Amino acid sequence: MKNSVNFNDKIIIALDYGDLKPVKNLLDKLEGRAFFYKVGFELFTSCGEKSVKFIKERGCKVFLDLKYHDIPNTVYKAVKAAGKLGADIINVHASGGTDMMSAAKKAAEEASEDAGKHIDIIAVTVLTSLSDGDINRIFYDYNYNDYEEVIQEKDGGYGVSKEGISSGLAMHLARLAKISKLDGVVCSGRESSNIKKTLGKDFKTVTPGIRTKIGSDNKITNCADNSKDDQKRVMTPSEAFNAGADYIVIGREITGAADPAVAFDKIYTDIKDNISMQKI
């Protein structure tokens, strides 16, 4: 082992299940390894507050990933309710705007006081499943007939180059989150180093889109395979931490593995072996 830093509570496992049974199964298998879990749409919609309470009762932390995006008053109330449930990290969409994010921050502060602990409120910048082309199609390219031609002709639109469009947008949304006094953002590993450099090292970055590729030595190689599913802006676990992530979010690489504990250990070995000295 190259270092003695404990990364176990910096790895957040995404519990994308529709039932508490597989949740219990996974927590049993990862007992003593993983201490931070993410409850998202599927689990919360299926099982509600029971899902958060179940994880908290096991002594683990919860990132309640419900990505609120609504008018400020509604988001304020939702964040207060999430805090009451026991969530340790709550998130909103940065594209909801600064008034909405400020309302979320106010709610998180009040909920923190009630809970007697700090609850992080963070903002989703650009989903890691969106490529530059996708962003172009959503925000910039108003021609619905022939996308490829228009993208090339317009060079990304609004003077933003097609190549950097997702990173530029993520940086802009992160700035809005910082202005709204949020604790940090959810962003791709490709953006976190820039976000940290510009907005300060205390501004947290949480990075999903973690993918691994096993090399001939049965260890994770440095180059993530980014074409096997819906995630597009991906990185390996160690790459994400080296790029500045405070937390990484991993779902299917662990939940879909034949043995989740073995998958977790491989990820942990990759982090231990390849983490840069600055992070230690």
Q: Which residue lies nearer to ligand C5P by CB, 199 or 210?
A: 210
Of 1-9, 78-86, 244-252, 263-271, the segment contacting ligand C5P by CB under 6 A is 244-252
Interacting positions 79-138 with ligand C5P (CB under 6 A) = 124, 127-128
Two structure tokens written together for 75: 């988001």
Q: Is 231 in the site for ligand C5P (CB under 6 A)?
A: yes
Residues facing 121 on adjacent strands: 90
Q: SS3 string of the chain?
A: CCCCCCCHHHEEEECCCCCHHHHHHHHHHCCCCCCEEEECHHHHHHHCHHHHHHHHHCCCEEEEEEEECCCHHHHHHHHHHHHHHCCCEEEEEHHHCHHHHHHHHHHHHHHHHHHCCCCEEEEECCCCCCCHHHHHHHHHCCCCCCHHHHHHHHCCCCCCCCCCHHHHHHHHHHHHHHHCCCCEEECCHHHHHHHHHHHCCCCEEEECCECCCECCCCCECCCCCCCCCCCCCCECHHHHHHCCCCEEEECHHHHCCCCHHHHHHHHHHHHHHHCCHHHC
Provide the annotated active-site residues: 67
**Closest approach of Cβ 62 to ligand C5P, in Å?**
13
Interacting positions 165-204 with ligand C5P (CB under 6 A) = 186
Size of the site for ligand C5P (CB under 6 A): 17
Q: Which residue lies nearer to ligand C5P by CB, 66 or 150?
A: 66
167, 165, 201: which is closest to 279 by C-alpha?
201
Question: Phi/psi of residue 224, each to 5°?
Answer: -75, 145
Site string for ligand C5P, 31-70 (x = CB under 6 A): ---------x------------------------x-----
**Closest approach of Cβ 169 to ligand C5P, in Å?**
12
Q: Is 78 in the site for ligand C5P (CB under 6 A)?
A: no
**Closest approach of Cβ 196 to ligand C5P, in Å?**
17
Site string for ligand C5P, 248-277 (x = CB under 6 A): -xxxxx------------------------
**Closest approach of Cβ 41 to ligand C5P, in Å?**
7
Q: Is 14 in the site for ligand C5P (CB under 6 A)?
A: yes
Candidate residues 156, 208, 237, 244; the one interacting with ligand C5P per rule CB under 6 A: 208
Residue nearest ligand C5P by beta-carbon distance: 251
Q: Which residue lies nearer to ligand C5P by CB, 194 or 277?
A: 194
What does the binding site for ligand C5P look like in residue numbers (CB under 6 A)?
14, 16, 40, 65, 124, 127-128, 186, 208-210, 231, 249-253
